[in-house]
């Protein structure tokens, strides 16, 4: 279920979806989580599709899916030489995008009011913990 954010650009819906599986040690003890896929989407209230969609697909479903595993998409027209192409037609590589960075983007760039005053320190700490769990 998306969360509604009040931003400097109006109401937006943020959805964060991810799928992880346990990563076991040789003895079968779970020591970390392995990301299988994620999809973070930010959609202005009055639009049908997300303006930003960060995705990771660990295992493609088809042999023709050779695009960047970690990527950004959206409906923005991109000028590529003599023509415009929708960002949705591309899979712009991003590297891993942690949830904390999406929250940081919403607060810092979109003007969403953070709940705690020390939001920056909290996001830094959460990112540190997430990295340690991921191995």
123 Cβ contact partners less than 8 Å away, ≥ 6 residues apart: 100, 103, 104
Helices 99-108 and 119-133 cross at an angle (nearest 10°) of 160
Label residue 84 by pLDDT band (50, 70, 90).
Answer: very high
Residues 47-62 pLDDT 10s? 999 999 999 998 878 7
60 Cβ contact partners less than 8 Å away, ≥ 6 residues apart: 66
- Provide mean pLDDT across the span 87-95: 94
Question: Which has the closest alpha carbon to 98: 64, 133, 65, 68?
Answer: 133
- How far does the chain reach from its first CA to its final CA, in angstroms? 29
- Provide mean pLDDT across the span 66-87: 94
């Amino acid at each position: 279920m998306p969360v509604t954010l009040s931003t400097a650009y109006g109401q937006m819906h943020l959805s964060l979806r991810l799928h992880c599986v346990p990563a076991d040690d040789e003895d079968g003890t779970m020591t970390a989580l392995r990301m299988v896929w994620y999809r973070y989407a930010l959609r202005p209230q009055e639009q049908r599709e997300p303006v930003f969609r960060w995705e990771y697909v660990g295992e493609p479903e088809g042999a023709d899916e050779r695009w960047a595993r970690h990527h950004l998409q959206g409906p923005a027209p991109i000028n590529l030489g003599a023509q415009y192409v929708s960002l949705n037609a591309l899979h712009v590589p991003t590297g891993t995008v942690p949830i904390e960075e999406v929250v940081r983007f919403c607060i810092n760039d979109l003007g969403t009011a953070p709940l705690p005053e020390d939001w920056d320190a909290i996001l830094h700490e959460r990112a540190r913990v997430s990295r340690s769990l991921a191995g």
